[in-house]
Amino acid sequence: MNSFSKIIAGTMTWGVWGKNYSIAQMSDLIIEALSIGISTFDHADIYGGYTTEAAFGAAFKQSKVERSSVQFISKCGIQLPSTERPLSVKHYDYTKEHILKSVELSLQNLKTDYLDVLLLHRPSPLMDPHEIALAIEQLKVQGKVKSFGVSNFTPAQKDLLRSENLIEWNQIECSLTQPEAMFNGTYNYMMHHQIGAMAWSPLGNYFKNDHPQKTRLKPLINKMCEIYSASEDQVLLAWLLKHPAEIFPIVGTTQAPRLKKALEALKIKLTFQDWFLLLEASLGHEVP
């Protein structure tokens, strides 16, 4: 875990699902991210309808950045109907054959010999922990996957897999506007079992359309911006970073200056009372 940058760059919107950056633009962003201290990049095979990993890989090759200087996370398991995969229905596939095939494709697309972390993207009602364990064991023995984890799994679902295999990471949604993981036992479980915590959508829905939660939060966050000499997004990240699970936020921005601001949020240390004031505003009532 220590080799990962505390702020992780999420790549979901780098390709056709977002900015649709050229190979050159992606290459520049990889270099810029690394220059400011962000070395970990989060992927999934489905991003861009199974196209973004390959675009990123071409950009990574063009950047001439040393593989040892960066860390790649990827996910597999979701079978998404798309141009690349004309399937009849969206579903999940965690057979040994599919996991091995998915990793091979990700390695090929990302122009690398190994993934630093492989995550199962979402839980499936048909997943067989023994079959998953066989796939992960083979990938680790071959050196193609360094660490294994899950994404969006509940404690009970993690227990099912832990009966056969070591889970080192769980990537879940968590933010000031979506703080449920701090109350439903998810982070408690991860801390108890020493499972690394990654948070996707760490800014929540704060910057989306106006809603009652944002109406309650905005005046307080503006006040916090003055107190801590910070921007709104930095206050939101600082709130998440205070949790003792030592969460790694996955920031989805495609702009280098915003990545830099996210990294600077690490310096902000909210007081306990300010942290709970923000939580209270988010919930709309005092903490139970």
Q: Domains (ranges, CATH) in the chain?
A: 8-173 (3.20.20.100)
Instruction: Determine the pLDDT at residue 224.
Output: 98
Q: Which amino acids are annotated catalytic?
A: 47
- Looking at residue 2, what is its pLDDT? 52
- Read off φ and ψ for residue 97, nearest 5 degrees: -60, -45
From the list 74, 158, 151, 76, the residue with the least C-alpha distance to 116 is 74
Cα–Cα nearest to 11, from 96, 66, 71: 71
Kindly write down the DSSP assignment for every residue of 193-234, as one continuous string.
TT-EEEEESTTTTTTSS--HHHHHHHHHHHHHHHHHT--HHH
Helix 212-228 vs helix 232-241: angle between axes, to the nearest 10 degrees?
90
pLDDT at 272: 98
What CA–CA distance (Å, rounded) separates 86 from 115? 27
Q: Is 288 exposed, middle or buried (0-12, 13-18, 19+ CB in 10 A)?
A: exposed
Q: Quick one: which of 127, 138, 191 has its CA closest to 161?
A: 127
Q: Is 73 helix (H, G, I), strand (E, B) or coil?
A: strand
Cα(161)–Cα(159) distance, integer angstroms: 5
Q: Are 7 and 266 in contact (CB under 8 A)?
A: yes
**Angle value at C-alpha 6, between 48 and 162, nearest 5 degrees:** 75
* Cα of 121 vs its chain's centroid, Å: 10
Going from the first residue of the chain to its last (288 residues), give the mean pLDDT of each consecutive group of 10, the final group possibly shorter.
87 98 98 98 97 98 98 97 94 97 98 98 96 97 98 93 93 97 95 97 94 95 98 98 98 96 98 98 94
